[in-house]
């Protein structure tokens, strides 16, 4: 792989991550209410629960780690 191809691949990955950040709220809205009825693995539910432990629902702020 040439250096320019590698550089283009990194730029493409950054662009993809930027787009993923933009649609995060939309994706989260899609799963609300569907976690119980959907076929979500226990590992994913466990990871979501662990992530949300750091969110304060009263202040709408994330805890600093």
Per residue of the chain (65 residues), give pLDDT as tens: 799 999 999 999 999 999 999 999 899 988 888 888 878 899 999 999 999 999 999 999 999 86
- For 51, half-sphere exposure in the C-beta direction (CA atoms, 13 angstrom radius) is 6
- Asked if residue 64 belongs to a domain, the reply is no
Q: Which domain holds residue 7?
A: 3-52
- Asked if residue 58 belongs to a domain, the reply is no
Give me the residues paired with residue 55 across strands: 62
Predicted pLDDT of residue 1: 73
pTM over cut 0.75: no
| Cβ proximity of 65 and 54 under 8 Å | yes
- Asked if residue 65 belongs to a domain, the reply is no
- Asked if residue 59 belongs to a domain, the reply is no
Considering its fold, how many domains does the chain have in total? 1
Structure tokens at 34: 């569907």
| Cβ proximity of 45 and 35 under 8 Å | yes
- Asked if residue 61 belongs to a domain, the reply is no
- Asked if residue 48 belongs to a domain, the reply is yes
């Amino acid at each position: 792989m040439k250096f320019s191809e590698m550089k283009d691949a990194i730029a493409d990955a950054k662009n993809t991550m930027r787009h993923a950040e933009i649609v995060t709220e939309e994706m989260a809205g899609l799963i609300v209410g569907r976690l119980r009825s959907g076929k979500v693995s226990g590992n994913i539910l466990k990871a979501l629960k662990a992530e949300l432990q750091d969110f304060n629902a009263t202040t709408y702020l994330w805890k600093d780690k």
